[in-house]
Homo-oligomer: A and B are copies of this chain.
Amino acid sequence: MGYDIHRLVEGRPLILGGVTIPYERGLLGHSDADALAHAITDALLGALALGDIGTHFPDTDPQWAGADSLTLLHQTVALVASRGFEVVNVDASILAERPKLMPYIQSMRERLAAVLRLPCDAVSVKAKTNEGQDAVGRREAIAVHAVV
């Protein structure tokens, strides 16, 4: 299982599942702050007990500054394969009050499926609001839960 959260701030693009989503703010982070890619990466590492995204891709490492998080996910998929395992399916839930993500879900699934080397129908990306509650509900952050 993987979980991630990033703050929504002005002056950053909003990138989820490798897809840039038009919005007045974006997610803050050392890399591109793609919380969906990060949560899936952590879910993969956790399933094989191979550490976590922070140990593999430390946010103190300049190598990952502004990194495309699909690259991190790609490297993790290669690591999983090198251990003789394969991912069978992925299921994620994005928690975001705004913007409406439905128009971008299919693109996210396609981008992720390509990196995960899975058919698109083995990659689930769900989205919902946090009903106005807490940081996500106040539009201050976007969070993601994922399982593989």
Contacts and interface: CB of A to CB of B under 8 A. Distances in A.
Interface stretch (A2-10, A14-22, A69-77): A2-10
**For chain A, what secondary structure do more than half of its interface residues adopt (helix, strand, loop), or is it mixed?**
mixed
A141 B131 CA distance: 9
B133 A141 contact: yes
Nearest to A101: B54
Nearest to A140: B133
B124 A47 contact: yes
Contacts of A91: 1, 46-47, 49
Contacts of A45: 124, 126
A7 B49 contact: no
A61 interface: no
Given A7-B131, A131-B141, A141-B133, A1 B49 contact: no
A55 B105 CA distance: 11
A93 interface: yes
A24 B56 CA distance: 28
A136 B137 CA distance: 13
Given A3-B93, A49-B89, A91-B46, A134 B135 contact: yes
Contact of A121 (B46, B49, B146): B49
A51 interface: yes
8 contacts: A5-B131, A5-B133, A6-B131, A42-B93, A46-B92, A49-B121, A53-B128, A145-B145
